[in-house]
Chain A
Amino acid sequence: MKNGTLNNMYWLVKREFWEHRGGFLWAPVITGGIFLLLNLMGIITAEVFGASRGIQIGNAGGLKVIINKMDAGDLDKVGLMLDLSMYSAMSMIAIVMGFVVMFYCLGALYDDRRDRSILFWKSLPVSDLSTVLSKVISATVLAPLIAIIVSVLAGIAQLLMMAITLSFHGVNLWHLLAQAHPFRVIANMIGHLPLYLLFALPSVGWFLLCSAWARTKPFLWAVTLPVLAGTLVSWFDLMGPLDLSSNWFWRHVILRMLVSVFPGSNLVYGSSKLTADGDNPLAFVDLAQTYRILTLPEMWIGVAIGAALIAAAVWFRRWRDDS
Chain B
Amino acid sequence: MNPVITANGLGKRYKSSTALDNVNFQIAPGRIVGLIGPNGAGKTTALKAILGLTDFSGELNVLGFDPRKQRDKLMGEVCFIADVAVLPRWLKVSEAIDFVAAVHPRFDRTKCEAFLTRTRLQPNQRVRQMSKGMIVQLHLALVMAIDARLLILDEPTLGLDILYRKQFYQSLLEDYFDEDKTIIVTTHQVEEVEHILTDLMFIRDGKVVLDTDMEAVGERYIEVMVNADQADAARALKPLDERQVFGKSIFLFDGVARSTLEALGETRRPSVSDLFVATMKGTYA
Chain B residues whose C-beta falls within 8 Å of the C-beta of A2 in the assembled complex = 102, 105
Known: A319-B55, A321-B54. A124 touches B95 (CB 8 A): no
| Interface assignment of A68: CB less than 8 Å from any CB of chain B | no
Contact of B75 among A18, A19, A123 (CB under 8 A): A123
Interface pair A119/B86, CB less than 8 Å apart: yes
Interface pair A126/B95, CB less than 8 Å apart: no
How far, in angstroms, from A35 to B45 measured CA to CA in the complex? 53
Chain A residues whose C-beta falls within 8 Å of the C-beta of B53 in the assembled complex = 119, 122, 321, 323
| Interface assignment of B90: CB less than 8 Å from any CB of chain A | yes
Known: A116-B86, A122-B53, A319-B55. A11 touches B102 (CB 8 A): yes
Chain B residues whose C-beta falls within 8 Å of the C-beta of A321 in the assembled complex = 48, 53-55
Chain A residues whose C-beta falls within 8 Å of the C-beta of B82 in the assembled complex = 116, 119-120
| Interface assignment of B73: CB less than 8 Å from any CB of chain A | yes
| Interface assignment of B76: CB less than 8 Å from any CB of chain A | yes
Chain B residues whose C-beta falls within 8 Å of the C-beta of A122 in the assembled complex = 51, 53, 75
Interface pair B105/A120, CB less than 8 Å apart: no
| Interface assignment of B268: CB less than 8 Å from any CB of chain A | no
Known: A3-B103, A125-B105, A321-B48. A18 touches B91 (CB 8 A): yes
| Interface assignment of B193: CB less than 8 Å from any CB of chain A | no
Interface pair A119/B80, CB less than 8 Å apart: yes
Contact of B105 among A3, A18, A19, A121 (CB under 8 A): A3
| Interface assignment of A45: CB less than 8 Å from any CB of chain B | no
Q: How far is the CB of A149 from chain B (nearest CB, A)?
A: 23
**Digit string of B54-75 for contact with A (CB within 8 Å is 1, else 0)?**
1100000000000000011101
Q: How far is the CB of A230 from chain B (nearest CB, A)?
A: 32
Interface pair A112/B88, CB less than 8 Å apart: yes
Chain A residues whose C-beta falls within 8 Å of the C-beta of B92 in the assembled complex = 18
| Chain B: interface residue total (CB-CB under 8 A) | 32
| Interface assignment of A52: CB less than 8 Å from any CB of chain B | no
Interface pair A125/B55, CB less than 8 Å apart: no
Interface pair B88/A19, CB less than 8 Å apart: yes
Residues 231-249 of B at the A interface (beta carbon under 8 Å):
none
Contact of A120 among B51, B88, B95, B102 (CB under 8 A): B88
How far, in angstroms, from A319 to B67 measured CA to CA in the complex? 12
Interface pair A123/B54, CB less than 8 Å apart: no
- B87 nearest CB neighbor, chain A only: A120
How far, in angstroms, from A7 to B103 measured CA to CA in the complex? 8
- A118 nearest CB neighbor, chain B only: B86
Q: How far is the CB of B88 from chain A (nearest CB, A)?
A: 4
Chain B residues whose C-beta falls within 8 Å of the C-beta of A121 in the assembled complex = 88
How far, in angstroms, from A123 to B75 measured CA to CA in the complex? 6
How far, in angstroms, from A11 to B97 measured CA to CA in the complex? 12
Interface pair A18/B86, CB less than 8 Å apart: no
| Interface assignment of B111: CB less than 8 Å from any CB of chain A | no
Sort A-B residue pairs by CB-CB distance and give the 6 closest, nearest first.
A117-B88, A123-B80, A125-B76, A11-B102, A125-B75, A127-B72
10 contacts between A and B (CB under 8 A): A2-B102, A7-B102, A8-B102, A11-B103, A119-B82, A122-B53, A123-B51, A123-B75, A321-B54, A321-B55
- Residues of B with Cβ closer than 8 Å to A? 48, 51, 53-55, 71-73, 75-76, 78-82, 85-92, 95, 98-100, 102-105, 139
Apart from the given pairs A115-B88, A126-B103, 12 other A-B contacts in the complex at a CB distance below 8 Å: A8-B103, A11-B99, A11-B102, A12-B103, A15-B95, A18-B91, A115-B86, A120-B82, A124-B100, A125-B72, A125-B76, A125-B105
